[in-house]
Amino acid sequence: MIDENHLKASNPQTVTVQLQALANHETPDIRSRVAENPRSPLTLLSSLTWDNEPEVRASVAANPNVSMDLLKWLAHDESGDVRYAMAEDPTLPMCLLIQLSNDANVFVAARAIQTIDNVKRARAKMNQSSTTKHQSIS
């Protein structure tokens, strides 16, 4: 059952003060929702990178406003689950996907390679579509 705290933590309209309070909630799922919330300030995301739960740290990496510095830090996270979650994110900067493709954890590395291939295919398809559209206009 979803409670009020879960809804507040997920809501992009929740004010920063409430998000900061919820970031200390005893339930990892609530802290994860705060970490994913686009309204969470960078200082809060930074503190959540130290959370004991890999789920929370993976959620920080998924936040659209996370800094490159935090992403670089999380790409070296001790938890393979955090690195795997990052490796399957096609919006992750390519330099970090390449780094993760060389991860010591073979599952992380394989997932990063698959994501890189998917991103390259999607880009090639977009370029091909753009070229075809341009040719038909000419």
* pLDDT of 133 over the 70 cut: no
Q: Cα–Cα distance between 83 and 86 in angstroms, integer?
A: 5
Q: Cα–Cα distance between 59 and 62 in angstroms, integer?
A: 5
Percentage, residues of the chain above pLDDT 70 = 92
Predicted local confidence at residue 3, as pLDDT:
87
Average pLDDT over residues 42-66: 97
Model's pTM, two decimal places? 0.88
Give the chain's length: 138
Average pLDDT over residues 109-136: 83
Task: Name the band, by pLDDT with cuts 50, 70 and 90, for residue 125.
Answer: confident
* pLDDT of 87 over the 70 cut: yes
89-98 per-position pLDDT tens digit: 999 999 999 9
* pLDDT of 137 over the 70 cut: no
10-52 per-position pLDDT tens digit: 999 999 999 999 999 999 999 999 999 999 999 999 999 999 9
Average pLDDT over residues 95-110: 98
Closest CA to 10 of 19, 50, 85: 19
| Domain range annotation of the chain | 4-137
Superfamily of domain 4-137: Leucine-rich Repeat Variant (1.25.10.10)
Q: Cα–Cα distance between 40 and 16 in angstroms, integer?
A: 7
